[in-house]
Structure 1
């Protein structure tokens, strides 16, 4: 298979271990226990691909995208005239945000609208300043018995870094400690309470009760059909997925349409949102078009055992760091994800255990001098990994004056060892406990690799201290990684088991407890909610990072939930997933004139 586009000029030889300062002590259980010499000896008998007929195949459907079409994506909104129009409208929106008002609720609603329209990247500092003003002027008079106002305030303040007490909801409880029954008639307030409840921390029982209460009441209101169509659409949208779990660009697409149907809308704000969406879409089109050319040139789109999902992989990076200026991450991060998904399928489906141990050893030593001992497809994938890593390393050296290759190669090692552990479980028939599975699953999710790239490809200055912190997989990263792992398992476990993959979280819990599949899925879903609570608190804590890396952590979790909301949106792409991607990458808004 041709490796066009993978320049041999970037090939590297082995790096001495002393040049790789990062070591994960929690990876000891992943290490291959066999000696290197034993692997080398066995390699002589697996070099031939004569056993290919015996290999498993996941029979993944082909890409739902025509790459010639993707490469041809273009937009009129790259023209300078549209940028000038945006600048003219921007001043009007900024004046709205900073206008003095005696109605803090109206200002909060405006700020919420600006964010949901996808405009926070244009007005992030302005919105934060306005929220700070509101917080500093809160008084007891505003802490009224209005559920809608209190919940909106709670959500917005927590979103912007204020640890507001759950006690603000105490006034909405009766003498028995339950939420008052008459609140079920206040659909607008319930919807606000529901959205606020997803910003809770661990141990906040009132917030947990608020989530259960508002969810039940809203579902009942929809079933009874007693709410107007416009409100019913909002409630269904929220019940489908809470705002806190939605991606900014995905929510913007829906909310722009919803906002246009509202009464008393601000036309300047609406027009700005549509034009901004179209201009950003034109940036994304250039990026994904270029990546489609790269992907086809590598030849990896022809790997029949692996998922060919270039556009979907771009969406992972787009969702994680969507702001236009971070194109380097979306470009190189997408290349990394394309490779890691191919490697994941290689470990899950295609390779024999002996081949996978040898592959892992080469990655661990970061040495391809004996690559010819591998079958052709494994050799092709390994060479693509080395070449792409060094291309990224070259960019980082030129743009950031930092040699990232020793650190990035270690991330590949961590991931491959986690994949290998799952392969060993499969081939030995071992059934891991849920605890064992989750310990390994944080790494096999490949989220740490994506987040590692999100740090060094967006940081203005890369530091060894920050890299060391990332390497320890702090809570803010491990929670995002486990949300990815568990949400993936809920959306794909049955299909992946049918393909011959090792057990997933649901089956591990069933084996641990004897619970039914339905009970186990409910438990795994509850773990997702718990990880979000920890992540919420982590985002308000102290850490050596700034944006966009901080938001990249919850954004990676949000991207996962977009992929697996209705099933396996990656392995088995459905129309809903392609429609979402088309709205993000292909279909602009019609502007009002």
Structure 2
């Protein structure tokens, strides 16, 4: 951590402590013209777990158009100007929301088109996955990138369930072979209808996204997209082998070789980068900067998932880094203190990767264009929000509430100042 970061960290800790103390006294907060609800929101969601569009809605619905005095020297714009600002913000949000709703209907149709609805084990949840894209890549013109992100999120979840839940060894090996062959998949054939549906969904959707990306990038990118899927499938197969054989990785390094790509963020985020706008030459997507941002994003995703799911996965025989670290470094997973020590170590690793990713994203220069770098950070924030308390897919209530707020629920715009008196 840089010296400047230590100072900022201390300021953040001090201000959070002060706000928590003053939350006990609304009188103190009101004297500073601070909305207690705003303070509560800021304390609940750290900056690395906030999504812009969700914050935009909250800010619009809590915007105060009347005059207020914040300390003696504060400048206050007149109520009419504030009302105009509120109206513009509300119109912009509502227009975007209409686009998101069209995208949601498209996703529902696509699920049926690629036959994912025929697979009973697949968690088809278009609303929360679209939310994760719309809450970060919110401008209307990024529709193609949002849809690609959402489709691949659903596909990654479906493929993960094949390897973790329902697939036989034959089906898993068949799927990996098909992905490896890609264009020549006819040489492999399908061992089951489940594998055929999943592979064709991945293959057809990837080619569709690749064709749109080629128009933006002025070159073919399908080879890179297929490589991302192959890397993910092989990693999932490695984890399945550990589970079926009962063998454990001998180190965290060995675990993360499979664990980083198996979280499936590569096929979700990286194809979307091609649709954001700036051109990404081949040497850039094969370069060190791109690889490091991808690695730190994957580390955050894998370890956040492990921290929230280790109890469930341990019962299922799935390899998870929490008990693995407890076994390797803290005397075994049987003791609660060992598990807690492992969780603290993994939390420190997440924090270090999150800081390094942010440093790579915001630094001046770099080969990867800034709008593309931003997507790595967007996914990192999505992951921290989804896993803020527990596995997002295991506790959908909170996420569905947020998804509805951004995509479906109309704004509750505050009344203009004085309107109630008219």
TM-score (norm 2): 0.83
Q: In the alignment, is the contact (CA less than 8 A) between 2:135 and 2:406 conserved in 1?
A: no
* 1:106-505 to 2 correspondences below 5 Å: 201=2, 204-222=5-23, 227-228=28-29, 230-260=34-64, 263-264=67-68, 266-366=82-182, 367-398=184-215, 400-432=217-249, 433-469=251-287, 473-498=290-315, 500=316, 502-505=318-321
Q: Does 1:577 align with 2:394?
A: no
CA displacement at 1:211 relative to structure 2: 4.0
* 1:347–1:224 CA distance, 2 compared to 1 (3 A): same
Provide the alpha-carbon RMSD of the alignment: 2.7
Instruction: Please point out which of 557, 566, 570 is paired with 2:380.
Output: 557
1:457 match: secondary structure: helix
Gaps of 5+ in 2: 69-78, 331-336, 417-422
Distance in 2, matches of 1:579 and 1:274, equals 20
Distance in 1, matches of 2:127 and 2:404, equals 10
Distance in 2, matches of 1:383 and 1:550, equals 30
2:299 match: secondary structure: helix
Distance in 1, matches of 2:56 and 2:405, equals 11
Which residue number corresponds to residue 521 of structure 1?
Answer: 343
CA displacement at 1:355 relative to structure 2: 2.9
Which residue number corresponds to residue 74 of structure 2?
Answer: none
* 1:566–1:244 CA distance, 2 compared to 1 (3 A): closer
**1:497-544 CA distance string (max 9 Å, x none):** 34x252223222222222533333333223222222212221214322
Distance in 2, matches of 1:561 and 1:398, equals 33
Which residue number corresponds to residue 537 of structure 1?
Answer: 359
More relative contact order, 1 or 2 (CA 8 Å, 6+ apart): 1
Q: In the alignment, is the contact (CA less than 8 A) between 1:202 and 1:530 conserved in 2?
A: no
Q: In the alignment, is the contact (CA less than 8 A) between 2:260 and 2:295 conserved in 1?
A: yes
Q: Does 1:589 align with 2:411?
A: yes
CA displacement at 1:311 relative to structure 2: 1.7
CA displacement at 1:550 relative to structure 2: 1.7
Distance in 2, matches of 1:447 and 1:383, equals 20
**1:291-314 CA distance string (max 9 Å, x none):** 111112322123222222222222
Q: In the alignment, is the contact (CA less than 8 A) between 1:250 and 1:580 conserved in 2?
A: yes
CA displacement at 1:269 relative to structure 2: 1.6
Distance in 2, matches of 1:216 and 1:344, equals 41
Which residue number corresponds to residue 145 of structure 1?
Answer: none
CA displacement at 1:365 relative to structure 2: 2.2
Q: In the alignment, is the contact (CA less than 8 A) between 2:322 and 2:343 conserved in 1?
A: yes
CA displacement at 1:414 relative to structure 2: 0.8
Gaps of 5+ in 1: 1-199
2:185 match: secondary structure: coil
Distance in 2, matches of 1:460 and 1:578, equals 32
The structure with the greater share of residues assigned to helix is 2
Corresponding residue pairs, total: 391
Q: In the alignment, is the contact (CA less than 8 A) between 2:156 and 2:264 conserved in 1?
A: yes
Runs of 4 or more consecutive aligned structure 1 residues displaced over 6 Å after TM superposition? none
**1:540-569 CA distance string (max 9 Å, x none):** 143222242121111111111222223222
1:339 match: secondary structure: helix
